[in-house]
Structure 1
Amino acid sequence: MALAMAFQRHGLALHRLLWSLALLALTPATADEFQGLARQLLVHREEPKFQNKNGPCSTMVDAGGSISVMDLKEIVGSRLGFTVASFTFDGEEVLSLADLQSGSLISALEAVQGADLHEDKPISSEDGQRDEVLSESAVACSEQLPQAEQPWVSTDTVLLSLFVVLV
C-alpha cells in the first residue's frame, strides 16, 4: 500500500514535470534570446607567434549574451597561452560580439611584446635611387660587421666568377 502511494506521488510529480516541459517547448522564443543562450564562437590564432609558439592555435568559446570583447580576450589568452591584442572577422577588427552569429570563425592577433624591435622603417640605398624596407635588426647587424666581413659581394667579383666558370 505504501509503495502504491509513493508511486502515485512520484507519478503525479513526473506528470506535472512533463506538462511543464511541454508548455515550455511550445512557448515561442525570439532569435535574440536563442542566440544569446547558445552562441559558440570559433577562435583561431594568426601568425606571427611570439609567445607559446608551439601551443594550441584554436579554441571554441561559449559566448552568451553578456560576454564582452575584453572577456573574450582573457578567455582565449588563457586557453591558448598568449596575450590577445585584437580579434578580426572577415578582415575587420571586432569591436563588439553582438553582431557575430553562432559558429563564426574569428582570428586572434597576438600582442607584440617589445614592438619597437620588430617595426620596419624605410631606408634609402647608398646611391639614393631606391628605397628598401629593412628591419632594425638587419640594419644593426650590418653596422656591427666590419666592411671585409659583410655578406654581400660586388658585381665585379660576380662577373669575374662567371667568366672563369664559362672559360
Structure 2
Amino acid sequence: MQAAARDTLIGLAARTPLLAGADVLTFVDIDSMLRRVYGKQKQGIGFGHAKVGGYEMRLRGYHPLIATLSTPLCAPVVAATRLRSGNAGSSRGAASMIAETITTARACGATGEIVLRADSAFYAKTVISTCRRHRVRFSVTARIDAKIRAACDSIGDDQWIDIRYPQAVWDDDEQR
C-alpha cells in the first residue's frame, strides 16, 4: 500500500504544482500519534502512553508514524505512513521512514534544500545520521536532560544570539 501511495504522489507531483517551490526549499515533517481502539481482538494493538486532559494515561491502540512534505508555497501532503502497535516508541522505524520520505521528496521534484523538522521524540542518533547521510538539514528538538542543561548553562549571556523572525506576530503586552 505504501509503495502504491508513494507512486501516486510522485505521479501527481509530475502533473500538478503539488509541491510548488520544491526547487528552492522543501520541508519534511515527521510525527507520531496514539490512536485509541476499543476492541480487545484487534490485531497489532498495544498499550501506549498518551496525555489526555493533561494526565498521563496508558491507552490501547495503534501508534502511526506519519511524514509530510510541504514548501513555503504549498500545504503539506502525506508522503509516508506506517502503522505500529500502541507500545511502539515514537522513533521506532523513523530513520528508515525519513530516508524513504527524502527519496520520495526528490522524486517529486525537490531539487532545492530539504529540511527535516521533528520533535524531541525523534532526537536519536539514527535520525540525525540519516539526515546527514542524505545531505538534508534538520531541526530536531532536543530533550532537556542533564547534558543538554549543562551545555546550555555553559553558554555565556553575551554569546546568545536572538533569532529575528521577519514575519513575527507583534505582542502588545510584551512590546516585542
Structure with the bigger RCO (C-alpha within 8 Å, sep 6+) is: 2
The structure richer in helix per residue is 1
Whichever of the two has the greater Rg, that structure is 1
The structure richer in strand per residue is 2
TM-score, L = length of structure 2: 0.24
